[in-house]
Structure 1
Amino acid sequence: MLRLLIADGNDRAGRGRHVERCGKTSAQTYAGVLRSLDRDLACDLVAPADADAVLPAPVQAYDGLVFTGSTLHVAEGGDAVRRQIALMREALTQGVPVFGSCWGVQVAAALAGGEAGRNPRGPEYGFARNLAPTRAGRDHPLLAGRPPAFDAPAIHDDAVLVPPPGSTVLVANGRLDVQAIVIPYAAGQFWGTQYHPELDLDEVAAMLSLSAEAIVEAGLCRDEAAVDGQAEALRRLHADPAGQPDLAWRLGLGAEVLEPARRRREIGNFLDALVRPTRAARGR
């Protein structure tokens, strides 16, 4: 049985807002996705942004660590950020494989000597479009099964602006040069995506609603009513993705987003290509 630790990137306030909109925390979302990929997998959850957070077990007891998204900003620093960088440092130093989406990528980059901050090309709200593997990404196991171009759920203002020394960028698009990356650090490996392979369409809808003011400010919707309309369309499509091809067409969404197995591909690849081989190498 694999045992994974899931680190919720949000502070208490952020977790509260997420639960209000989604009915669960970001860490609980990841736990559900991981268990859907492996029914025998065990997940422990921790909120390392909190000063009183306690790991359920030493980090080296886990076969992998997963970092969720967050409303925090790496560039702003502070104890909530430093505690999360410290957890990732400890895991990678111990040789524990780490995966992260969005916030997790930015934390890993900051730890390894890169730079994360506000993307000067603007945010992505809803979906990252026309994602394309780099030359290195075409043959990397993180992207096994992905086509030459694809879309994925994405919600972010911040991004990795300068990759760390020794890292390998695997995916880019017109909005951002670092959409997926591999970062070696100490004895470990970080694999991650700026986009959110863990999010179902109803959760994308909830995140749009949470970000409505910022979406309007960015000029992506005329007003918050338009954001609500987009969110409602995604909720409807989530309820019946196969039975509403007209709605999928209007939203510009194909199988790489609509089919859970395809949408979550990077998470499954992380388990199969990094976590299980590392566990075997550690003699567990």
Structure 2
Amino acid sequence: MSVRGIASSANALRFLIVDGYSPEGRLELTKSGVSIASDLYKRMLSTSADGLPTSFDVLFPSDGPFDTPDLRNYDAVAWTGCSLTVLDSADIRVTRQLELAKQCYAHGVPQYGSCWAAQIAVVAAGGVVSKNPRGREMGLARKMTHRFVAEVEKLYEDPSRRDIAWRLGLDTDVMDENVRYTESRNFIKHLVVPYKLSKTLLE
């Protein structure tokens, strides 16, 4: 099969998305008007596939015990962010995900993710994650005004408003989707697609 052969929905790039948030964490996100992490990842990966069809299964390991999906059915595993920490080594929600990551390593399936993924990947590979002596990183906003919020909402409605972005100090890393999705595009192009093609050759 060639990359052109992946262009049919029958040969879609198959992703397993591991959404590590607990039900309470997901509820907190939705109550705040924020999309849950797995939905954000679906959108990001679909966009980053540059026209290739994609399909997704979502696993919520913090919800309770689960049977590990057959990793042969996937071309990649994507780990979302999460409000847990691997430093809580006695937390079953953490140990479940560490075990899954070890199985992904053993299988050789490409993996992708952000902050939580980095913690899980390091510990599952035998490394050590240490506590930040300055405490957890938190995004804080102070002295927000109604005018600022109104401008952010205008920019959300019309991302082409560079004049507003400039006033708010936002550059192309935030505004330009092509720049923002560079890592996920590279992941799909250089790891996921070759992995899928190599699996096809072995079948």
Deviations 1:215-256, CA, capped at 9 Å, x for gaps: 3xxxx635xxx398766654432222212x232123221112
Note the C-alpha offset of 1:98.
0.3
Match of 1:61 in 2: 73
**Post-superposition offset of 1:116:** 2.6
1:30 corresponds to 2:41: yes
Tell me what 1:102 maps to. Answer: 115
Task: Name the counterpart of 1:7.
Answer: 18
* Structure-1 separation of matches of 2:29 and 2:177: 21
Contact 1:7–1:45 under 8 Å retained in 2 = yes
Report the alpha carbon displacement of residue 272 of structure 1 after superposing the two structures with TM. 0.4
* Aligned residue number for residue 261 of structure 1: 178
Q: 1:119 and 1:66, CA in 2 relative to 1: closer, same or farther beyond 3 A?
A: same
Q: Distance in 2 between matches of 1:112 and 1:12?
A: 27
TM-score for the superposition, normalised by structure 2? 0.80
Counterpart CA distance in 2 for 1:37 and 1:66 is 13
Aligned length: 187
Q: Distance in 2 between matches of 1:85 and 1:2?
A: 24
Q: Deviations over 1:105-154 (max 9, x none)?
A: 1111121233334433566xxxxxxxxxxxxxxxxxxxxxxxxxxxxxxx
| Residues 104 and 20 of structure 1, relative CA distance in 2, 3 Å threshold | same
Report the Cα distance in structure 2 between the residues aligned to 1:254 and 1:267, rounded to whole angstroms.
19
The answer to whether structure 1 residue 237 and structure 2 residue 158 are counterparts is: no
Structure with more relative contact order (C-alpha pairs < 8 Å, separation 6 or more) = 2
Q: Which segments of 5 or more consecutive residues in structure 1 lack a partner in the other structure?
A: 124-155, 158-207, 209-214
Code of the aligned partner of 1:34: L
The Cα shift of 1:11 comes to 1.1
**Deviation string for 1:181-236 (max 9, x for gaps)?**
xxxxxxxxxxxxxxxxxxxxxxxxxxx6xxxxxx3xxxx635xxx39876665443
* Counterparts in 2 of 1:257 and 1:24: CA distance versus 1, 3 Å: closer
Q: TM-score, normalised by structure 1?
A: 0.59
Percentage of matched positions with identical amino acids = 30
Structure with the larger strand share: 1
Give the number of the structure whose residues are more often helix, by fraction.
2
Structure 1 52/249 Cα, relative in aligned 2: closer, same or farther at 3 Å? same
* 1:80 maps onto 2:93 in alignment: yes
Residues 9 and 67 in structure 1, CA contact (< 8 A), matched pair in contact too: yes
Gaps of 5+ in 2: 1-11
Show the 5 A alignment for 1:130-141: none
Aligned to 2:65: 52
